[in-house]
Amino acid sequence: MKTTNAKTMHPLLRKFGPLLGCIVFYVVIMLLRKADIINGYYMQVMLFAGVNVLMTASLNLVNGFTGQFCIGHAGFMSLGAYGAAVITTMVFKSNSIPEAAQIPVFLLGLLCGGIVAAIVGALIGIPSLKLKGDYLAIVTLAFGEIVRALLRLIQPIGGARGMIGIPNYANFFWIMLFVVLTLWLLRNLIYSSYGRAFIAIRDNEIAADAMGINTTKYKIMSFCIAAFIAGVAGGLYAHVLSFIQPDSFGFVKSADYLVYLYAGGSGSLTGSVVGAVLLTILPEVLRFLATWRLVLYAIILIAVMLYRSEGLIGGKEVPFLRIKRSSLYEQPLFGRKKNGLSEE
């Protein structure tokens, strides 16, 4: 593992490099779009990939960094999606508000979606205190299904038939903005004292407790933050697809995000980005296989898990997503056989 030669980089470049890189990337993509080299199809896949990155990163916070076992993450997404959609379509009827008001309404919708999801996330965090490991997994799975069942019952938002006509506000700019913002925030969170608390809880909860970390508070906090991000991602998803229904946020979707997370490598933000992007693109790329497409997808997944269990990135971070002196964090999470004892 080579250390970054951060000292040898120009200080301004080091500080603003990643941001500049993002802006350049955005500009390049938009130019390609105008020239129609990137057509609507590629754009749409990229939009979905962006939403998936947000979801995977937030799941990473709970599963990867705090060591919890949440497998119902799509439930938060659905709450956010419906929350945002209700604001934009029902509270402010999107077709009848002036152009200038559209963006604030959209942002308001996302915010509300995120808050609803965060509140529920706090509620989920509470039983997680008593439950460990697999039991927490069950509760989160059950939560996802209960949210789905409840959303089906509520007729004014379309019930089981779903909500149509959501305005198409989320374009590449917004998705890119939220992705960059979220990754930046998460990076800062992880390398702060909060993040250290999360990682301490992941590594050995009892020891963390003994050291005086309020595990209750931090566990609930991690659920809340992750739920908020997932809610915002859900709102963006609703405004990309213009149509949402409760059934699309079931266990299958949660399983998708788990796959993106662990295939990319949990405990690393780079891993969640790579995992989400690659695995969103993969089914599209495999279209030439027709009926055998999902079979090959499954085989690739099993192969990656068998031969590279720590994920494609393996817990390492790209330089601008980590801080120089935190090489302590840079140990791959799995395969750490120090004394011959296997990991939990």
| Positions 127 through 186 that interact with another protein (CB under 8 A) | 127, 130-135, 137-139, 141-143, 145-146, 149-150, 152-156, 159-162, 164, 168
Greatest C-alpha distance within the chain = 66
Q: Does 90 bind another protein (CB under 8 A)?
A: no
Q: In angstroms, rounded to a whole number, what is the distance separating the alpha carbons of residues 37 and 183?
A: 28
Residue 219 near residue 201, CB atoms below 8 Å? yes
Q: Does 272 bind another protein (CB under 8 A)?
A: no
Query: Among residues 28 and 252, whose Cβ is nearest to another protein?
Result: 252
Q: Could you give the C-alpha distances from 65 to 158, 197, 208, 226, in angstroms and in order?
A: 37, 10, 14, 11
Stretch 1-30 residues interacting with another protein (CB under 8 A)? none
Q: Which of 1, 35, 100, 290 binds another protein (CB under 8 A)?
A: 290
Query: Among residues 178 and 257, whose Cβ is nearest to another protein?
Result: 257
Query: Among residues 96 and 155, whose Cβ is nearest to another protein?
Result: 155
Q: Which of these ranges, 81-89, 171-179, 194-202, 235-243, lies near another protein under the rule CB under 8 A?
A: 235-243
Q: Which of these ranges, 13-21, 41-49, 99-107, 224-232, lies near another protein under the rule CB under 8 A?
A: 41-49
Q: Which of 22, 281, 318, 323 binds another protein (CB under 8 A)?
A: 281
Q: Does 303 bind another protein (CB under 8 A)?
A: yes
Instruction: Read off φ and ψ for residue 244, nearest 5 degrees.
Output: -130, 150
Stretch 239-258 residues interacting with another protein (CB under 8 A)? 241-243, 245, 247-248, 251, 255, 258
Stretch 316-335 residues interacting with another protein (CB under 8 A)? 333-335
Nearest to 58 by CA among 206, 151, 178, 147: 178
What is the DSSP secondary structure assignment for residue 244, as one 8-state letter? Answer: E
Q: Could you give the C-alpha distances from 29 to 32, 36, 149, 239, 296, in angstroms and in order?
A: 5, 10, 40, 20, 30
Q: Does 308 bind another protein (CB under 8 A)?
A: yes
User: Binding-site residue total for another protein (CB under 8 A)?
Assistant: 89
On the CB side of 67, how many CA atoms lie within 13 Å of its CA?
A: 22
C-beta pairs of 293-297 under 8 Å, 24+ apart in sequence: none
DSSP per-residue letters across 263-307 = HH-TT-HHHHHHHHHHHHHHHHHGGGGGGGHHHHHHHHHHHHHHH
Q: In angstroms, rounded to a whole number, what is the distance separating the alpha carbons of residues 205 and 214?
A: 10
Q: Does 55 bind another protein (CB under 8 A)?
A: no
Q: In angstroms, rounded to a whole number, what is the distance separating the alpha carbons of residues 15 and 19?
A: 8
Q: Which of 22, 97, 108, 278 binds another protein (CB under 8 A)?
A: 278
- For 256-284, b where at least 16 C-beta lie within 10 A, e where not — what string? bbbbbbbbbbbbbbbbbbbbbbbbbeeee
Q: Which of 30, 32, 300, 318 binds another protein (CB under 8 A)?
A: 300
Residue 10: CB minimum distance to another protein, A: 31
Q: Does 194 bind another protein (CB under 8 A)?
A: no
Residue 12: CB minimum distance to another protein, A: 33
Q: Does 259 bind another protein (CB under 8 A)?
A: yes
Q: Does 295 bind another protein (CB under 8 A)?
A: yes
